[in-house]
């Protein structure tokens, strides 16, 4: 597609050079036009339009124009046109009214073909004045008949022609899928054209045919057949895209920085907690090494922090386990009474460990103290009724344990009732 466009442009340039470019006709295009009639619309700030236009006029001469137009903001657009590489003219256009009401009413005005060349701009020598001389216009447009209608007035002259015709501007355009159909009267001719817009709206191509209505003299340069190609770019788009990307990356960086600061604070808190726990653990290790329960008993009346309570509870569990290990050693030696003492100390430190009660019950059972054995086993059963150790006991023993559990429940309910 890009190669085809280049071939078209190169071909048009070649035709214009071969057939000659000796005429001095001025362009008749404002920065925004249907074909020749200026069009009222809002602009995108930063749009830069480069256009190539060529055509054959009523005196069978070819004209080739290059234009460069720039949108200063959404209301003002201007540019310069090189006519046949020989003369430069300035075109200015301003959007005066831009309303969403009345069918999207828009009104634009401007001045075209501003030049120091007398043939293009003077009104003094009527013989040199043609349809494209210095030109003032005011055009309004609105939505109508599923398209857009354009109506305006202009101040210009054509030698020997009534000014009434020259001052009327009338146009209508309708978009059909990818094409834009255009019909207009520019004061001297009825023009019919078709515009093709690229999907990205950055390339426009206009083909037009003009049918003169008023009688033109021999110096008229009104194009009968014309082609115009416009390539549009926005000077701020790449900058805006880069700026948006930079802003997104900066926003992501700020989020990461905030997350890092949060993680840093959390890590500092954890380090402080570890330091406190380290000190507490050191104290508890000393107590474990001394194996003196009195130190724990002294701390029980002291109000402890959450960390101190956690560490101390963990330390008690460790010491209870040490007592339990000692109880096992005495049990192996069949020193049952010392084993019972170690288990009682373990239970004092960790009263919710069912294993301690179960072993204690087994020792009492060996000592033929069945009453205490059933009580210890009942306590272990209350703490962990799913333990497989109870399944290994004789059925008679299990039945007695269940009876003891029920007696304990009845006693608890009775005490609550009081």
| Residue 260, domain member (yes or no) | no
pLDDT per residue as tens digits for the range 91-125: 999 999 999 999 999 999 999 888 877 666 544 44
Chain position carrying tokens 């009338």: 170
Q: Is 180 a residue whose pLDDT tops 90?
A: yes
**Residue 160 belongs to a domain:** yes
Examine residue 222 and state whether it is found in any structural domain, yes or no: yes
Domain co-membership, 275 together with 231: no
* pLDDT surpassing 70 at residue 304: no
**Residue 284 in contact with residue 290, Cβ under 8 Å?**
no
Q: Clarify whether residues 20 and 160 are in a common domain.
A: yes
Q: Residue 201 pLDDT more than 90? A: no
Identify whether residues 281 and 193 lie together within a single domain: no
Same domain, yes or no, for 224 and 352?
no
| 269 band by pLDDT with thresholds 50, 70 and 90 | confident
Which single residue is written with the structure tokens 């480069």?
A: 50
Query: Are 219 and 358 members of one domain?
Result: no
For residue 259, being part of any structural domain is answered with: no
DSSP 128: G
Residues 220 and 348 in one domain: no
Q: Name the domain count of the chain.
A: 2
DSSP label at residue 392 = G
Whether residues 215 and 316 share a domain: the answer is: no
Q: Are residues 275 and 211 in the same domain?
A: no
**Predicted confidence (pLDDT) per residue in 34-93, tens digit:** 998 999 999 988 899 999 988 876 655 677 889 999 999 999 999 999 887 778 889 999
Residues 181 and 53 in one domain: yes
- pTM score: 0.52
CATH code assigned at 27: 2.40.160.40
- Chain centroid to Cα 192, Å, comes to 44
Place of tokens 């020997």: 160
| Residues 2-32 pLDDT 10s | 444 444 434 433 333 333 333 334 445 789 9
Give the residue numbers spanning the domain of 310: 266-417
| 360 in the same domain as 220 | no
Tell me phi and psi for residue 191, to 5 degrees: -115, 140
The CATH number covering residue 302 comes to 1.25.40.10
On whether both 144 and 270 belong to a single domain, the answer is no
Q: With respect to residue 34, please indicate whether it lies within any of the assigned structural domains.
A: yes
pLDDT in tens, 326-379: 888 888 888 888 889 888 888 888 888 888 888 888 888 888 888 888 888 888
Q: How confident is residue 128, by pLDDT bands cut at 50, 70 and 90? A: very low
């Amino acid at each position: 597609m890009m190669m085809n466009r280049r071939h078209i442009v190169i071909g048009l340039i070649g035709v214009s050079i071969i057939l000659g470019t000796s005429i001095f006709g001025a362009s008749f295009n404002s920065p925004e036009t249907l074909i020749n009639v200026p069009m009222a619309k809002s602009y995108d700030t930063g749009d830069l339009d480069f256009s190539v236009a060529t055509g054959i006029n009523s005196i069978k001469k070819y004209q080739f124009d290059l234009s460069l137009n720039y949108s200063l903001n959404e209301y003002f657009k201007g540019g310069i046109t090189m006519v046949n590489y020989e003369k430069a003219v300035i075109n200015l256009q301003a959007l005066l009214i831009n309303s969403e009401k009345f069918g999207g009413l828009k009104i634009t005005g401007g001045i075209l073909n501003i030049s120091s060349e007398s043939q293009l701009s003077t009104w003094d020598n009527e013989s040199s004045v043609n349809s494209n001389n210095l030109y003032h216009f005011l055009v309004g447009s609105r939505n109508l008949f599923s398209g857009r209608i354009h109506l305006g007035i202009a101040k210009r002259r054509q030698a020997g022609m009534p000014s009434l015709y020259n001052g009327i501007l009338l146009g209508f355009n309708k978009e059909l899928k990818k094409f834009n159909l255009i019909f207009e009267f520019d004061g001297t001719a009825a023009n019919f054209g078709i515009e093709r817009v690229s999907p990205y709206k950055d390339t426009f191509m206009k083909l037009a045919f003009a049918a003169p209505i008023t009688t033109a003299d021999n110096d008229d340069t009104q194009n009968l057949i014309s082609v115009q190609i416009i390539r549009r770019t926005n000077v701020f788009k790449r900058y805006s895209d880069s700026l948006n990307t930079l802003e997104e990356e900066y926003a992501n960086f700020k989020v990461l920085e905030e997350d890092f600061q949060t993680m840093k604070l959390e890590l500092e808190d954890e380090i402080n907690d570890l330091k406190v726990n380290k000190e507490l653990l050191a104290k508890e290790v000393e107590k474990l090494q001394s194996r003196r329960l009195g130190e724990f008993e002294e701390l029980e009346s002291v109000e402890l922090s959450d960390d101190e309570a956690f560490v101390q509870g963990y330390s008690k569990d460790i010491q209870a386990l040490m007592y339990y290990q000692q109880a096992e050693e005495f049990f192996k030696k069949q020193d049952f009474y010392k084993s019972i003492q170690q288990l009682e100390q373990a239970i004092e430190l960790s009263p919710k460990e069912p294993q301690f009660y179960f072993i204690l019950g087994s020792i009492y059972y060996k000592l033929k103290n069945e009453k205490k054995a059933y009580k210890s086993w009942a306590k272990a059963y209350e703490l962990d009724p799913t333990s497989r150790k109870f399944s290994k006991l004789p059925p008679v023993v299990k039945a007695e344990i269940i009876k003891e559990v029920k007696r304990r429940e009845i006693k608890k309910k009775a005490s609550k009732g009081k």
